[in-house]
Amino acid sequence: MSSSTNLCALSGAEQARLVRTGAVSPVELVDAVLTRIAALDPVLHAFCALGETPAREAAKAAESAVLRGDDIGPLHGVPLSIKDLICTRDLPTVSGSKGYETYLPEEDDIAVARLLGAGAILIGKTNVPEFGYAGAGKNDLFPTTANPWDPAMSSGGSSAGSAAAVASGMGSLTIGSDGGGSIRGPASLCGLVGVKPSFGRVPLYPGCRDPRYPGMSSWETIEHLGPITRTVEDAALLLSIVAGPDPRDRHSLPAGDVDWLATVRQPLGRLRIAYTPDFGFSKVDREVRDLTAAAARAFADDLGCALVEDSPMLTDMAETFFAQIVRDSDLRGMRAMAARGEITMPGLLWLLGRDWSAEDLTDAAMRRQAACNEIARFMQGYDLLLTPTCSTPAFPIDGWNPDSVEGVPAEEANISPFTYPFNWTGQPAMSVPAGFTAAGLPVGLQIIGRHLDDATVLRAAAAFEMVRPWRDRWPALVTALD
């Protein structure tokens, strides 16, 4: 069990249990993960900063605590990575930006502080596009993040490095952020579990709002923090630690209505579930459509739920999404950065170069509310809604998005409308592995719950994992290490 390969194949919950019982030393565990990073990250480029020395020191201290019989936290000695949009005071938070190349926050984000307080050991920060404004791990500072299932393909974004790290066993636990699909999309493309909990479940602070570094924006009304893991249990474990109110985030929710770890062990029950392959307007890759339809049928055939094909009456809302991003962005600060040559990403430059009027932003707010109302009415008839997470499998690493879907150019295909509406509504949503394409690329199924009903979403994911297990399938570059 103590070999590097075996330790890295364990879930975070299993690693924590072995540390607690003394069967595995935190020093062994951190050494195993750092050895895996040394072997694979030169190919995958998941990490933009490593804290190798402090991680080893923390592991020694954690080992001593176990030997002394100290009270230890639920993640004691377990390696953890953090997306590089989330503040860490002991490692830089560069955010893929030239303007933030030297930024070291003065304090940890609330979620980071809670995880470290639970005994986790921070091993590094994971790569992102500039400020997270894209679905691929590309920036001018670090090599582009590759997909472990095929390094010629993208791992998605913006939690690009987080997903690549977990999918390759470079640590079993990570925290990402999601303002429009940035947890769920990379989880889908890398064959992982990715959870966007209800808005406010995980408090956000400080969000990199530092007057010395203008331009960084927390998407305050749509951003969620959440886990990317290999198992549903690990996701629940992380949520049990990071969820709960904090007075520094005025949006944070009271706790106590969800027992995260108990929820994933409860029977599913006969739920009413809707499935849509496309919202009625989006182009979806044929293999994605077939795999997610088959995964949805498992809820009826294997789990006894009532499943129907149905969808809220939505239309393409990409324009509204862009306007909502601008509304939540430091537009003035980023335009100044662009003028200094500190922003180069084409999509972000387009966003900054557009002349947004007050009416553009208020119209978008009205369209957002209309979509939220439509989804709320729709969800009165169902416990869950299932969709593809992404319209395509992973796309080539040199692109920002797929070039086309089913022969239709991406700009005309209304690609991947499945995630961002649920950032607007704040509903819980998560991606779970639905299967693999003929080329061996993962595809994700999105599970969406009613407002604040995180428990049913986690319970459904755990039940699906039992009947359609995925955790023992690894990318070839990982199995080649054996």
Which residues form the catalytic set? 83, 158, 182
How long a stretch of residues is the chain?
A: 482
Phi-psi region of 31 (alpha: psi -120 to 50; beta: other; left: phi over 0): alpha
Please enumerate in sequence order all residues whose Cβ is within 8 A of that of 289, keeping only pairs 6 or more positions apart, or say none: 277, 278, 388
Q: Is 117 helix (H, G, I), strand (E, B) or coil?
A: helix
Distance CA 60, CA 84 (A): 25
Residue 437: other Cβ atoms inside 10 A? 18
Among the residues of 137-207, which ranges form H helices? 160-167, 184-190
Which among 18, 75, 9 has a CA at the least distance from the CA of 36? 9
- What residue type is 157 in one-letter code? G
| Spatial separation of the C-alpha atoms in residues 10 and 166, rounded to whole Å | 11
Sign of CA dihedral 381, 384, 390, 391: negative
Which tokens sit at 252? 């944070």
Q: How many CB atoms lie within 10 A of CB 299?
A: 25
| Helix axes 346-353 and 318-327, enclosed angle (nearest 10) | 80
Helix (H, G, I), strand (E, B) or coil at 89: coil
Cα angle 325, 331, 337 (rounded to 5 degrees) comes to 125
Sign of CA dihedral 187, 453, 448, 470: positive
